[in-house]
Amino acid sequence: MSTEVVPQKYVFYYYTPSIVAAAIFAVIFALTTIAHGFQLIRSRTWYFIPMFIGALMEAIGYVGRIMSHSDKENLGPYIMQSLLLLVAPALFAASIYMVLGRLIAYLDAAHHSMIRLNWLTKFFVLGDVLSFMMQGGGGGMMAKATEESADLGQKLILGGLFVQLLFFGGFVVVAIRFHTQIVREPTVLASSLQTGGKNGWLTLLRVLYGASALIMVRSIFRVVEYIQGNKGYLMRNEVWLYIFDAVLMAAAVFLFNLVHPSNVILSEDRKGYTGGEAGLQDVEMQRHHGGRKHRDSENRQRR
């Protein structure tokens, strides 16, 4: 007589999700999403749409945790919060990658980039897409709600997080090298533009560093969390999710409300910018010619 092996049921939560904490961060992310929406439309910085979508996903994710408070075994809200909170930072990273590429072009400093400017954004965004798909696929496997599928899903998510850390680490190296070079050998445009304050390109670069550091710490936390597994200390204690994920991601998104890329990049040429790559190239040509006129003026003064 054979006995059928029934897969063990996957335990969603080893605690009751806090409705107060989830509600606080749902509101925080909703507010920053609205602010990003206004900034996005006003400045027409369409390349920053991933940041807006990621913030919206965070808000919806915490709504899922609110729903889980009264029904911990409901699969829908669990998947909503688990998947959205997991993959949203990948969209933040995509926006950060695109901002650096545009900043380098804006400052006419492509020669200071370790990676050819045409490939810089594409390279890191492709890595981000790979990470996003791996984490999303792992989250989908966890939706089957069995121990076996959840274990495979966690391994796929862990792989996606390692890919994210690898590409993010490479991005930080590229950013630091560019920063070092542009400070040591500033271009004519970099020298003529504001560096400090909300409109300063150096301020924006520092914001990129700050947001990158927050995402890196959060990703390391997630790696440790998934290495420990569903029964590990981090997943069994809700407080760590809020300390090392919610707070850090809220800070990262809010940084770009304070210092929005539109304050710096194309701030003087925004009316003529269409939002596409062709528009960006047109503006860069204008900036380049402006820099050349500036150099010609200096030469005439010396004479």
- Establish if 165 belongs to a structural domain: yes
| CA–CA separation, 83 and 139 (whole Å) | 6
- Copy the structure tokens of residue 83: 């998947």
pTM tops 0.85: no
- Establish if 256 belongs to a structural domain: yes
β-sheet bridge partners, residue 9? 146
Model pLDDT for residues 55-87, shown as the tens digit of each residue: 999 999 999 999 999 999 888 899 899 999 999
Residue 33 burial (CB < 10 Å; 0-12/13-18/19+)? Answer: buried
Tokens 């990470």 found at: 131
Model pLDDT for residues 4-45, shown as the tens digit of each residue: 444 566 788 899 999 999 999 999 999 999 999 999 999 999
| CA–CA separation, 268 and 91 (whole Å) | 27
Residue 1 burial (CB < 10 Å; 0-12/13-18/19+)? Answer: exposed
- Copy the structure tokens of residue 73: 């075994």
Span 145-161, average pLDDT: 82
pLDDT recorded at residue 153: 84
Model pLDDT for residues 166-180, shown as the tens digit of each residue: 999 999 999 999 999
- Establish if 65 belongs to a structural domain: no
pLDDT recorded at residue 7: 52
Tell me which of 6-10, 132-136, 146-150 is least confident: 6-10
Instruction: Report whether 153 contacts 138 (CB < 8 A).
Output: yes
pLDDT recorded at residue 8: 63
Give 84-88 contacts, CB < 8 A, sequence gap 24+: 84/57, 84/58, 84/60, 85/57, 85/58, 85/61, 85/241, 85/245, 86/135, 86/139, 86/157, 86/222, 87/57, 87/132, 87/135, 87/136, 87/139, 88/54, 88/55, 88/57, 88/58, 88/61, 88/249
- Establish if 30 belongs to a structural domain: no
Model pLDDT for residues 256-283, shown as the tens digit of each residue: 999 999 999 864 444 333 333 444 444 4
Would the CA dihedral through 184, 185, 191, 193 be positive or negative?
Answer: negative
- Establish if 209 belongs to a structural domain: yes
With vertex at residue 97, the alpha carbon angle to CA 96 and CA 99, rounded to the nearest 5 degrees, is: 65
- Establish if 126 belongs to a structural domain: yes
- Establish if 4 belongs to a structural domain: no
Would the CA dihedral through 170, 171, 172, 175 be positive or negative?
Answer: positive
Residues 6 or more apart from 2 whose CB is under 8 A from it?
A: none
Q: Which domain, by its residues, includes 189?
A: 89-262
Task: Give the chain's domain count.
Answer: 1
* Cα-to-chain-centroid distance, residue 104: 18
Helix axes 75-106, 201-228, angle to 10 degrees: 150
Model pLDDT for residues 221-263, shown as the tens digit of each residue: 999 998 998 888 999 999 999 999 999 999 999 999 999 999 9
| CA–CA separation, 69 and 86 (whole Å) | 19
Span 118-147, average pLDDT: 85
- Establish if 35 belongs to a structural domain: no
Q: Is a pLDDT exceeding 90 seen at residue 189?
A: no
Work out the mean pLDDT of the chain and round it to a whole number. 85
pLDDT recorded at residue 1: 43
